[in-house]
Amino acid sequence: MVGASSLHPRLLSSFVGDRLVQSRQPLAQLFHYNPGRKHVSMQLSRTFSGLTNLLFNRRNNLDEVPDGKRKRLRPGKLSPRRLVPNHIKRPPYVKTRMAPGIASGPEVHDLKGIENMRASGRLAAQVLNYAGTLVKPGITTDEIDEAVHQMIIDNGAYPSPLGYGGFPKSVCTSVNECICHGIPDSRPLEDGDIINIDVTVYLNGYHGDTSATFFCGDVSEEARNLVKRFNHLARDLISQTTEIPEVQVTKESLDKAISICAPGVEFKKIGKTIHDHADKFGYGVVRQFVGHGVGRVFHADPVVLHFRNNDGGRMVLNQTFTIEPMLTIGSINPVMWDDDWTVVTEDGSLSAQFEHTILITEDGAEILTQCEA
């Protein structure tokens, strides 16, 4: 397992639900660390309800077969960092090479800002849709990253993950038991895999953030149900969401959550909606990775919890944020690889995720990352 002395002086979380916090406290004060134990508990001056017990296990038992049919993930080789033309505007964190953390205050926009958010969200959705068409046995996640990177820069945008806190690639590719932050590498996708592709673009000074889980070849019924039922939850949350047969329970939970969003609604209702739906099918809800405000900055308030909680806060008109639940078939405990990014389920069980950036409108919520046919 990773000891406290080897951790970065920042707390990692998810692009698709990032919970990054910078702190000036010494690591010894931030972490309760007992050698030989799996848990590193975090102490923070700011309250993060339900987010204080992130597991930082080193990867182990890489060849163990969780279900008798597939092997656990293991890291492949990384290609060199891809270049971005000089004329493309970069987010401020690219120069510092530090993760800026969660910015205080919500992302609330004027009419021009809303149009910019629609543009970045539309591009993110188009890129994600294209990335999904590439998923097939034999393609490597690095090849997906290369294609995504090229499409983003061809459209005059910057791939937001690239250089964020040292992240080396332009997209996150999380396969099978990977909960989030999978780094694209030389591993080819195999028949029966599921893969979450998480795309964020920075266009004209605004981020658009979205993700979806795709099937690779002939997927097991167990995996299909996890993804399909995610879809049902999402579809119930917002009426204009198009049903995608491959993505039901996990995406269902997302759609259900979006459907209850409107000015004045408490954020905690999102977590209850998702958790209630997951419980119906016996799936676990990952707690350590959250949705977040998004717009001029990559990660801003509010923190959007995907499980039942009593946190305060209400949605306001013209606010933008992400909802990005992660459901698991088995353990909800996250384990981090030695790369300090890749997060997998403790028991090797499958995990699925879907994400949208939404805008709070007078009538409810508008999905900014909905891909139009």
**Residues 163-217 pLDDT 10s:** 999 999 999 999 999 999 999 999 999 999 999 999 999 999 999 999 999 999 9
Say whether 222 counts as a known binding-site residue: no
SS3 content of the chain, % helix, strand, coil (to 5): 25, 25, 50
pLDDT category of residue 97 using cuts at 50, 70 and 90 = confident
- Predicted pLDDT of residue 369: 97
Say whether 39 counts as a known binding-site residue: no
Q: Please report whether residue 10 resides in a domain.
A: no
- Predicted pLDDT of residue 248: 65
In the predicted structure, residue 114 carries a pLDDT above the cut 70:
yes
Taking the C-alpha atoms of residue 234 and residue 268, their distance in angstroms, rounded to an integer, is 16
Q: Are 289 and 17 in contact (CB under 8 A)?
A: yes
In the predicted structure, residue 16 carries a pLDDT above the cut 80:
no
Mean pLDDT of 48-72: 52
Instruction: For residue 239, count CB atoms less than 10 angstroms from its CB and return exposed for 0-12, middle for 13-18, buried for 19 or more.
Output: exposed
Q: Mean pLDDT for the chain?
A: 81
Q: Please report whether residue 268 resides in a domain.
A: yes
Say whether 355 counts as a known binding-site residue: yes
In one-letter notation, the amino acid at residue 36 is G
* DSSP reduced 3-state for 269: helix
Query: Domain range spanning residue 323?
Result: 103-228+247-367
pLDDT category of residue 37 using cuts at 50, 70 and 90 = very low
Say whether 209 counts as a known binding-site residue: yes
- Predicted pLDDT of residue 272: 96
pLDDT digit string (tens) for 290-326?
A: 999 999 999 999 999 999 999 999 999 999 999 999 9
- The CA-atom distances, in angstroms, between 186 and each of 159, 165, 262, 342 are 20, 22, 43, 15
pTM: 0.82
Mean pLDDT of 37-58: 35
Segment among 42-56, 90-104, 139-153, 196-210 with least mean pLDDT: 42-56
Q: Are 328 and 284 in contact (CB under 8 A)?
A: yes
In the predicted structure, residue 233 carries a pLDDT above the cut 70:
no
In the predicted structure, residue 330 carries a pLDDT above the cut 90:
yes
In the predicted structure, residue 86 carries a pLDDT above the cut 90:
yes
pLDDT category of residue 279 using cuts at 50, 70 and 90 = very high
Say whether 324 counts as a known binding-site residue: yes
Segment among 124-133, 203-212, 220-229, 231-240 with least mean pLDDT: 231-240
* Higher pLDDT among residues 313 and 97, named by residue: 313
Q: Please report whether residue 363 resides in a domain.
A: yes
Hey, what are 73's tokens?
């993930």
Number of domains present in the structure of the chain: 1
CATH number at residue 252: 3.90.230.10
Say whether 32 counts as a known binding-site residue: no
Hey, what are 198's tokens?
């998480």
Residue-by-residue DSSP string for 195-225: EEEEEEEEETTEEEEEEEEEE-SS--HHHHH
pLDDT category of residue 69 using cuts at 50, 70 and 90 = confident
pLDDT category of residue 5 using cuts at 50, 70 and 90 = very low
% of the chain exceeding 70 in pLDDT = 76
Q: Please report whether residue 90 resides in a domain.
A: no
Q: Please report whether residue 65 resides in a domain.
A: no
In one-letter notation, the amino acid at residue 350 is L
pLDDT digit string (tens) for 235-257?
A: 443 333 333 333 468 878 999 99
pLDDT category of residue 160 using cuts at 50, 70 and 90 = very high
Hey, what are 252's tokens?
């269902």
Say whether 276 counts as a known binding-site residue: no
pLDDT digit string (tens) for 139-159?
A: 999 999 999 999 999 999 999
Q: Please report whether residue 339 resides in a domain.
A: yes
Which DSSP letter does residue 165 get? G
Q: Please report whether residue 155 resides in a domain.
A: yes
pLDDT category of residue 348 using cuts at 50, 70 and 90 = very high
Instruction: For residue 111, count CB atoms less than 10 angstroms from its CB and return exposed for 0-12, middle for 13-18, buried for 19 or more.
Output: exposed
In the predicted structure, residue 36 carries a pLDDT above the cut 80:
no
Q: Please report whether residue 46 resides in a domain.
A: no
Counting Cα atoms < 13 Å in the Cβ hemisphere of 35 gives: 2
Per-position b or e across 341-373, b if 16+ CB within 10 A of its CB: bbbbbbbbbbbbbbbbbbbbeeebbbbbbbbee
Beta-bridged to residue 31, according to DSSP, are 42
291-293 and 194-203 beta bridge pairing: unpaired
Counting Cα atoms < 13 Å in the Cβ hemisphere of 71 gives: 10
In the predicted structure, residue 32 carries a pLDDT above the cut 70:
no
